[in-house]
Structures are given as C-alpha cells and as structure tokens.
Amino acid sequence: MAYVPDLVVFGSGKAGRSGSGVSDRLTRYFVDGDGDGAFLRHTTVVAEAQDGLTPELIEAADYLGANLPIPIFSAAFAAAVGAQLAADLELHPCVVRCRGRDFDTFRVARTKTYLPLVDPARSDYVTLSTGTRLLRRPAYDPGLADRFLIARDERHRASVVCAPRLADLVESAGLRVDFVPAG
C-alpha cells in the first residue's frame, strides 16, 4: 500500500464524531481482529477528508490512506478484486466526507490474515531509553508472499502488506492504487 499521510480521519456516524473511544474501537476490530463487529450494525464508519482533498480526488480514488492503519477502498476496488480478497479481508461500508459531500461508495477493510511477515534480522529498530525496541523500518519475509494477497504482521500490526499478486490484480483491473516496495 502506498503511504499517504492522513488523507482522511475516522469518526463515527454520529455527526462524524471522532475521539479516542471511536479510534480504539475501530483499531481493535479492523486492525487487531478483536470482537464481532456488532457495533457496525448501529453506526456508520465515517472518514473525514482533510483540507488537501477535493470531491474530484475522492471520486477518482480506489484507495485512501487514513490516520488509523485501516485501508479504505472504493466500490470499484471491491467489485474488481473483493472476491479474490475474501480470505484476507472483510469489507464494510464507509462514508467519506469531503467539503460537505458524503461519498457512501467506500469500504473499510478488516484484516483477517496475520502472519510472521516482519523479518527481525533484516528490519531496523530504534531502542528507547527504557530499553524498549520499536520497529522503525520493517523488512518482510518474501517467502510468505504465496500465502496471502494482503495481510498484517502478527506482531507489528500497523502495516498492511500486499503480495505482488495483489498488485498484478489491481493493475490488470485498471484500479488507481499506488504500491510502495516492501523492505
């Protein structure tokens, strides 16, 4: 996935309310895979576009980056490759708000595949004064690419990793998603 800094900020369907409670619930479900998602029957996931985006850019996008590590895909993306991603992702409706307009054709993705993708020996870490090591620049184990199309590392869940096969599917479908090479 291409990293695009905070193009949209997640909130809830209640007037686009954001906050740590909303963020925590979304992160637990969509990133960590915790819970049954019952809250989605009573609320709409809303992502508010930041100032640099226009409705035209939102309409043209097949992938949006956000303040939380939760992919947002267009309906065109879901229609073109959603069936192939069913083992790895669960897609849920999402409204993207931009300059007073609501775009209700987007989907947020819950990751279902967690693998030991990060290669600790090749990754770059920073050590805090407390002795805690934080992953700074991950390197991924290319030997696992045949086991998924899109996944998260089972320990370092903030990054979404796509297999080359997904990039090929996206390109052949003519979707507008930029991928960056994994380390």
- Tell me which residue range forms the domain holding 99: 8-111
Cα-Cα end-to-end distance for the chain: 13
Place of tokens 């620049």: 137
Q: In this structure, are 79 and 162 located in the same domain? A: no
Q: What is the pLDDT of residue 158?
A: 87
Q: What is the pLDDT of residue 12?
A: 46
Q: What is the pLDDT of residue 22?
A: 73
Q: In this structure, are 83 and 127 located in the same domain? A: no
Q: What is the pLDDT of residue 10?
A: 65
Q: In this structure, are 44 and 127 located in the same domain? A: no
Q: How far apart are CA 16 and CA 10, in angstroms?
A: 8
Q: In this structure, are 15 and 105 located in the same domain? A: yes
* Residues lower than pLDDT 50 in the chain: 1-6, 12-19
Q: In this structure, are 135 and 96 located in the same domain? A: no
Q: In this structure, are 78 and 24 located in the same domain? A: yes
Q: What is the pLDDT of residue 53?
A: 87
Q: What is the pLDDT of residue 11?
A: 55
Q: What is the pTM assigned to this prediction? A: 0.84
Tokens of 17: 């309310």
Sign of CA dihedral 35, 38, 42, 46: positive
Q: In this structure, are 106 and 122 located in the same domain? A: no
Place of tokens 């959603």: 82
Task: Kindly state whether residue 182 falls inside one of the protein's structural domains.
Answer: no
Dihedrals φ, ψ of 162, to 5°? -110, 140
Q: What is the pLDDT of residue 66?
A: 86
Element (H, E) at 111: strand 101-111
Give the CA-trace dihedral at 93, 83, 157, 8, to 10 degrees: -30
Strands 45-49 and 89-98: parallel
